[in-house]
């Protein structure tokens, strides 16, 4: 059987993604993630590649914004999928596959932080510099500055609040799923998200709204 990682490389799937401003919520898909993972257990490489294509964007954006360093995010991205591949025999559909995937991602990031205490000081993310079609230069400049303010505000959040915010906005998880991934209660996740949103809105000089 050809290793999944080799198959992905041969398909030329891109590993780098630039985080966008708009966040897309995941849509219901068929077959279900858990069914694909069980098929992968039985040796169906195509099932794994479907899972990869389905979730690689959200996973990479999450890791990129957590690390704030492109090379580190790409390394962690590879590490997460490698762990998923190695753990396929032990996978049980007791929770959503995305919960399983992002719990692995969070653990990989925690290990990264422990081994690299200066990770937050090595920022290597440059907001997109290309103007949108038909966009005036002044508007493009304002958008770039807004993105920089947002990135700086994200970095200023406590780790717990930043993690909950990114899981909610980047990955589209519900509060229940976030609580499961982070190991906290739903109300704790909701409180962290509320505080994160308020701080970010204050930093962006936007009026606060009720979450």
Q: Could you read off the pLDDT of 86-143 as tens digits, one per residue?
A: 999 988 888 789 989 999 999 999 888 888 865 444 444 444 444 555 656 666 666 6
Residue 41 · residue 88 · CB < 8 Å: yes
Residue 126 CA to residue 178 CA, distance in Å, equals: 28
Quote the radius of gyration of the chain (alpha carbons, Å): 18
Query: What pLDDT was estimated at residue 105?
Result: 94
Question: What is the token pair recorded at 1?
Answer: 């059987």
Q: What percent of the chain has pLDDT over 90?
A: 40
Nearest of 15, 106, 99, 3 to residue 53 by alpha carbon = 15
Please give the pLDDT value at position 138. 64
As given in the structure block, the two tokens for residue 180 are: 């499961």
| pLDDT of the residue at 94 | 84
**Secondary structure class of 124 (helix, strand, coil):** strand
Regions in the chain scoring below 50 on pLDDT: 1-29, 119-130, 208, 210
Q: How confident is the model at residue 80, as a pLDDT?
A: 97
Considering the entire predicted model, what is its pTM? Answer: 0.64
Which residues are bridge partners to 69 per DSSP? 124
CATH code for the domain defined by 137-206: 1.10.10.10
Which among 72, 34, 38 has a CA at the least distance from the CA of 54? Answer: 34
Specify whether the CB–CB gap between 189 and 180 falls below 8 A.
Answer: no
pLDDT at 140: 60
Query: Which pLDDT score, from 0 to 100, does residue 71 have?
Result: 93
All structural domains of the chain with their residue ranges: 29-93, 137-206
Q: How far is residue 125's CA from residue 115's CA, in Å, rounded to a whole number?
A: 21
């Amino acid at each position: 059987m050809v290793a999944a990682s080799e198959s992905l490389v041969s398909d030329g799937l891109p590993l780098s993604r630039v985080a966008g401003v708009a966040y897309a919520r995941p849509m219901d898909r068929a077959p279900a993630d858990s069914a694909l993972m069980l098929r992968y257990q039985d040796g169906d490489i195509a099932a794994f590649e479907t899972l990869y294509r389905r979730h690689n964007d959200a996973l990479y954006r999450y890791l990129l914004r957590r690390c704030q360093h492109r090379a580190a995010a790409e390394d962690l991205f590879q590490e997460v999928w490698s762990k998923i591949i190695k753990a396929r025999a032990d996978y049980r559909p007791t929770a959503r596959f995305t919960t399983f995937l992002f719990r692995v991602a969070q653990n990989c990031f925690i290990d990264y932080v422990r081994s690299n205490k200066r990770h937050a000081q090595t920022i290597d993310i440059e907001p997109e510099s290309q103007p949108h079609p038909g966009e005036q230069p002044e508007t493009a400049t304002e958008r770039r500055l807004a993105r920089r303010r947002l990135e700086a505000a994200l970095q200023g959040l406590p780790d717990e609040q930043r993690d909950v915010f990114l899981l909610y906005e980047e990955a589209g998880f519900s509060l229940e799923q976030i609580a499961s991934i982070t190991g906290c209660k739903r109300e704790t996740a909701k409180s962290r998200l509320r505080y994160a949103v308020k701080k970010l809105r204050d930093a962006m000089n936007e009026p606060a709204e009720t979450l």
